[in-house]
Chains A and B, each alone.
Chain A
């Protein structure tokens, strides 16, 4: 077996405390939260007090200034528990990271301490009803008006949509432009003109308050802008690798965990005078899945290391996200089958894991977008060789998800 070499003793101590937190503060209530379609705010405050939110935020902004592996541990332990209701990943990995990386001093000082404590919950407003993968095509407008901007538009599929206090919102400040017309704002949801739409009824992730959001004549000061005008798309591109890595991290753990559950179940489940585990089919299926889970683990950990050295490319991250998402879905499907009728019953974690899984091939960049990024890079390399010109590393930046040609999506 491949030993994981990423973590040191302090990480493992933190891991133990995260597990304890999940056992005590999440496990007993998760079923209720699934019914409610939302978690209580107190959970966020408790998670903040336990040091589980935004571990990498520097001390000057109220954080602990820990390394990325502490965030990884939170994502991993949440994934291992099978509890998907609290939307910590979006909050920590995306929203806090955006503010930390692109925010003004004032924005950082205002929002980050509250995000670390769980007092302010973050969400990311990108997708719109008519623009998912095709992000450049968003319609939400931010129009300059004196020293403020007026925001009008609509977002959909927004995680933490009912709870969020702050949104990193993608808008168009210049509708004549594609990517270059996109600007990010940090929107305080207590402002007039911010309207929460309905909480969406989903296949899985039942405890997450995924919602529609509306912006009606919402006035924000120019100082709420994140980065500069027209810079939004480029900023988002620089964080995509991190976002996709986090998803691979989660999927790698779900795959491992579903296999563990299934090994245990098939070992105990009696049939035909033995157990399900006695069948060659069971052992061979699980052997294939386990092998793939180990390959996925090794690649994911290699990507984590690369990321921490600042070397994880958009292509590495796309490969990790695509391969681990596919594996995640394949594992829950094949494992559910080995549970027979119980696999279809919501009370079994494998049934919920199956329902939760299907979004991972879609959210955070669909499989098709990942293929596009990887496929495009192959020809770009070839073009570089033919012209005997070194490819500058900046060529991959700033263009991101810009499919060209008919084979794109």
Chain B
């Protein structure tokens, strides 16, 4: 179990208990099937809404509980620590990323229409940035939203979109003008029931198996001009102001999963005997685990500090990049070194450490690769 930390008060710990109860009742019984099927049940979303786990930061005026982003962190920490990376990412993209865009960049009308539905789970939201030919290089995006009278016509293809099969609403990053570079970019809300919207394959991944990551196609999809979020051409600026929150939450995802890997490993090495003694007694085991424990302590301290800063609106792009880079790289080292102690069992999917290892690899890639994080940090030097 994750230990209480100074960043949280008693009200947060009560919420944490509720999240744990939700995981036991709504994820654990179905998780293996979801991993096999490559997708969670739709009822998982409604259950999350009923239990108050979706978009806890959304104010009451928009149908939310009006909590702080700490509650978002708790949801991610607990589902991540339970080892359920797929369901964790599903909620995280919806609550921590998409709802953030709506709250901070949406028009009043957009917020009133969509936020209550995101909170209840009636609407599942996705954000479509990456394209087959452009990932880290957002300015290289090709999807276009072209003005046609009082409508926009959206054309293009997106890939690696989390919630791609379940989503009812997609925040599409598209080019609305030929203005060079970032200036021509806008965020456009596209409902999945509009003609011309098509879901591609549910992609087969190395890990996060129960998360529906998909291609999405937009073939002359018509939306009213009022579907542009904020001002036309403001898309890139919005991305820049929202990405730190996404990177912070990915740091928390990695901390929780790394802590889980460490805890299951400590338990395993105590029980597993080789050469007449528990693995835990070998000096190699003890020293390796000591290094990993130190990594966890440092990581939590930094992540929590960033969370406090975020709540004070002081989290810089540099802080967020540092947290994402360090925590996800540490997560990668953690699962690799932990798996080694499990010997052959570590390679078997029925062992949790195996799944944790496969799930971990994407953390250094999505939400901005480690290379992009280094680039952002280096620019600030």
Contact = CB atoms under 8 A, between A and B. Distances in A.
Contacts of A346: 203-206
A406 B206 contact: no
Nearest to B272: A130
B226 interface: no
A134 B160 CA distance: 43
Contacts of A351: 205-206
Given A132-B344, A134-B274, A271 B365 contact: no
Contacts of B285: 409
A362 B369 contact: no
A278 to B, nearest CB: 12
Interface string A373-391: 0000000000000000000
Interface in B311-336: 332, 336
Interface in A153-182: 156-157
B348 A202 contact: yes
Interface residues of B, number: 48
A200 B344 CA distance: 11
Nearest to A201: B349
B349 A344 contact: no
B8 interface: no
Contacts, number: 132
A127 B340 contact: no
B365 A201 contact: no
Interface in B101-142: 130, 133-137, 139-140
Nearest to A355: B206
A203 B347 contact: yes
A290 B148 CA distance: 53
Interface stretch (A17-25, A50-58, A91-99, A334-342): A334-342
Interface in B322-381: 332, 336, 339-340, 343-344, 346-350, 354, 357-358, 361-362, 364-366, 369-371, 374
18 contacts: A132-B344, A202-B347, A203-B358, A271-B137, A272-B139, A337-B365, A337-B369, A340-B135, A340-B136, A341-B159, A341-B366, A344-B160, A344-B362, A358-B346, A358-B347, A362-B347, A363-B347, A368-B340
Interface of A: 127, 130-134, 137, 156-157, 200-205, 270-273, 279, 281, 329, 333, 336-337, 340-341, 343-347, 351, 354-355, 358-359, 361-363, 366-368, 371, 403, 406-409
Interface of B: 130, 133-137, 139-140, 159-160, 203-207, 273-275, 277, 279, 281-285, 332, 336, 339-340, 343-344, 346-350, 354, 357-358, 361-362, 364-366, 369-371, 374
